């Protein structure tokens, strides 16, 4: 869904999408892991400090991108 949306609006290199609603916010970001690329999603209440959330969300994404992740069998 995210890749289709990004393709449709023709943004190149998009890493994070933020959705702002009346009752909260949703953040979607890519985790560029070499073997297991991921999409990370976080849903928060409406009172979140967006800058702080995006900072820690990006920090977690970077940490996961370098983590040793194996496929479950």
**Can you read off the two tokens belonging to residue 4?**
């289709």
**pTM for this model (two decimals):** 0.69
Q: pLDDT tens digits, the chain, 73 residues: what are they?
A: 666 776 777 777 778 889 999 999 999 888 888 888 888 999 999 898 989 988 998 899 899 888 887 777 6
Strand 38-44 and strand 24-31: the pairing is antiparallel
Burial degree of 29 (CB within 10 A; 0-12, 13-18, 19+)? buried
Tokens standing for residue 3: 């890749």
């Amino acid at each position: 869904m995210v890749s289709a949306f990004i393709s449709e609006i023709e943004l190149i290199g998009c890493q994070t999408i933020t959705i702002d609603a009346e009752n909260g916010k949703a953040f979607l970001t890519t985790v560029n892991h070499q073997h297991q690329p991921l999409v990370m999603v976080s849903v928060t209440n409406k009172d979140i400090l967006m800058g702080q959330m995006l900072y820690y969300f990006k920090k977690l994404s970077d940490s996961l991108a370098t983590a040793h992740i194996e496929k479950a069998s």
